[in-house]
């Protein structure tokens, strides 16, 4: 692989062919994920009861949570590029295999659950590796912009991926949808293979140590870092307070107010639009001054807006408030990711990303049943308020830690 040279002047990320190759590969993979999940859920619903379909969809969460930390060790030990390519290759082959199976027979729920298990295990490798790639393909002062570009790709995949999968199902059934997902994963491979990676500042990691020792070393690094250690706690508090109301409370709120499924769609569209605008802002500017302080402030303000959702009387007001929540939460999330990218030693970034991903995708979803049960006991208003308070605590803590509050993103030569 050709190394990036430090002497060469850094191009803005949105004009760097290497970064654009990464963005294209990541976007194709993200779209493939969206189409795959729609195809899997549709096939599971058509093959069993709603409860069985829900179980199939939940199966992937188990290996993802159990293997995530190990995935970070693998990304740091063998290199994020190799792990991402291997992950998308496995997903491509598995999904195309399911598409072929659907052409000749009807899959059992056990087969679908096995596919979900494989995807969960692959996600545990893919997510830390994706988080560790940007510092190896872009200059440090461009990492915030790369984070914004990644956020835009995620939003586009969420908004457009499901309709693409639905169109494929309508035209050719689940086999066509799985086939489209497989082709999208395949499209990411040549772009990822063409990436040029910068060498690690301290050289490639030694592979004569055990995985447990590497994992323990990553925890020691994270615990001793003045910015990253507190940042993980901020992520935990924010996500634990945020995801329950958004993913469970919103549906209950729409049902109580009589907004219906379309109302949920409008509120989520408002949230997605705001989050997309925040990613676009970071992509265009490349840097937000006083990033740590802005992150903590936007977490607190976004939490207050989230809590207020339970008290708005009409759908238009809820959509407007969701737009505000999306903008503030999107900006705080993008800044959190950008600070992680710029503060972390690239040699540890896979393990650090694994920890934050484990918190967000392994621990935070545990609040779903708690949120539903709490709403049944005390109603929507108190639950939204308590959740917002927990999320606000994350923002207050970020502002109270001096090193995190004063954390800055690198200055970009072309930033306004």
Give DSSP secondary structure letters for 53-112: HHHHHHHTHHHHHHHHHHHHHHHHHH-HHHHHHHHHHHHHHHHHHHHHHHHHSPPPHHHH
107 and 56, same structural domain? yes
CATH of the domain at 359: 1.20.1250.20
Burial of residue 224, with CB atoms counted within 10 A of its CB: 0-12 exposed, 13-18 middle, 19 or more buried: exposed
237 and 183, same structural domain? no
360 and 228, same structural domain? yes
Q: How far is 16 from 10, CA to CA, in rounded Å?
A: 9
Question: C-alpha angle with apex 360: 223 to 85, nearest 5 degrees?
Answer: 90
pLDDT (tens digit per residue) in 89-123: 999 999 999 999 988 887 788 888 899 999 989 99
Mean pLDDT for back-to-back runs of 10 residues, the chain (416 residues): 42 86 94 90 79 75 88 92 94 94 84 90 92 89 90 87 86 92 96 88 67 91 95 93 84 84 82 91 88 96 92 90 93 92 92 91 78 86 92 96 94 58
Residue 414 lies in a domain: no
393 and 258, same structural domain? yes
Q: How far is 304 from 310, CA to CA, in rounded Å?
A: 11
pTM of the model: 0.87
Provide the angle, in degrees to the nearest 10, between the axes of the packed helices 380-400 and 367-378.
130
Phi/psi-derived region of residue 203, left when phi > 0, alpha when psi is between -120 and 50, beta in every other case: left
132 and 261, same structural domain? no
The pair of three-digit structure tokens given for residue 395, joined into one six-digit string: 């923002």
Range(s) of the domain holding residue 276: 217-405
250 and 151, same structural domain? no
Last residue of a domain, one of 177, 193, 209: 193
Residue 8 lies in a domain: no
374 and 258, same structural domain? yes
pLDDT computed for residue 1 by the predictor: 38
183 and 225, same structural domain? no
248 and 150, same structural domain? no
269 and 401, same structural domain? yes
pLDDT computed for residue 405 by the predictor: 96
pLDDT computed for residue 208 by the predictor: 65
Residue 207 lies in a domain: no
- List of residues 6+ apart from 25 with CB closer than 8 A: 84, 88, 188, 189, 191, 192, 195
Residue 208 lies in a domain: no
Last residue of a domain, one of 193, 225, 256: 193
The pair of three-digit structure tokens given for residue 344, joined into one six-digit string: 């972390």
Q: How far is 228 from 218, CA to CA, in rounded Å?
A: 12
Of 406, 295, 352, 289, nearest to 135 (Cα)? 352
The number of distinct structural domains making up the chain is 2
The pair of three-digit structure tokens given for residue 343, joined into one six-digit string: 């503060």
Q: How far is 310 from 256, CA to CA, in rounded Å?
A: 10
173 and 53, same structural domain? yes
Last residue of a domain, one of 132, 161, 193: 193
Residue 157 lies in a domain: yes
Helices (H) and strands (E) in the chain, counts: 17, 0
- C-beta separation of 297 from 395 below 8 A: yes
222 and 173, same structural domain? no
pLDDT computed for residue 413 by the predictor: 58
Q: How far is 215 from 217, CA to CA, in rounded Å?
A: 5
């Amino acid at each position: 692989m050709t190394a990036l040279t430090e002497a060469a002047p850094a191009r803005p990320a949105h004009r760097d062919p290497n970064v654009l190759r990464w963005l294209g590969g990541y976007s194709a993979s993200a779209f493939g994920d969206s189409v795959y999940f729609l195809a899997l859920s549709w096939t599971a619903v058509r093959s069993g009861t709603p409860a069985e379909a829900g179980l199939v969809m939940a199966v992937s969460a188990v290996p993802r949570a159990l293997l995530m930390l190990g995935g970070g060790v693998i990304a740091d030990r063998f290199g994020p590029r190799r792990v991402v390519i291997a992950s998308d290759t496995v997903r491509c082959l598995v999904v195309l295999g399911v598409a072929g199976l659907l052409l000749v027979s009807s899959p059992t729920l056990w087969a679908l659950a096995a596919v979900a298990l494989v995807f969960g295990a692959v996600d545990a490798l893919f997510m830390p590796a994706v988080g560790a790639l940007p510092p190896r393909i872009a200059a440090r002062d461009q990492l915030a912009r790369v984070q914004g570009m990644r956020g835009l790709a995620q939003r586009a995949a969420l908004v457009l991926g499901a309709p693409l999968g639905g169109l494929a199902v309508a035209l050719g059934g689940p086999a066509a949808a799985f086939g489209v997902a497989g082709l999208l994963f395949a499209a990411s491979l040549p772009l990822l293979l063409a990436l040029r990676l910068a060498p690690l500042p301290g050289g490639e990691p030694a592979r004569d140590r055990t995985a447990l020792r590497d994992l323990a070393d990553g925890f020691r690094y994270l615990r001793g870092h003045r910015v990253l250690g507190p940042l993980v706690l901020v992520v935990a508090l924010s996500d634990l307070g945020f995801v329950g109301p958004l993913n469970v409370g919103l549906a209950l709120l729409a049902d109580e107010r009589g907004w219906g499924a379309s109302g949920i769609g409008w509120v989520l569209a408002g949230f997605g639009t705001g989050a997309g605008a925040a990613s676009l802002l970071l992509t265009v500017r490349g840097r937000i001054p006083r990033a740590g302080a802005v992150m903590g402030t936007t977490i607190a303000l976004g939490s207050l807006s989230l809590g207020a959702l339970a008290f708005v009387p009409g759908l238009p007001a809820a959509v407007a408030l969701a737009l505000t929540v999306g903008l503030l939460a999107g900006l705080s999330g993008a800044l959190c990711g950008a600070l992680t990218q710029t503060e972390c030693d690239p040699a540890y970034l896979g393990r650090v990303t694994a920890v934050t991903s484990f918190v967000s995708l392994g621990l935070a979803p545990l609040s779903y049943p708690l949120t539903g049960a709490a709403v049944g006991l005390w109603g929507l208003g108190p639950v939204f308020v308590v959740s917002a308070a927990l999320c606000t605590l994350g923002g207050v803590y970020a502002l109270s830690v001096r090193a995190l509050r004063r954390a800055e993103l690198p200055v970009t030569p072309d930033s306004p």
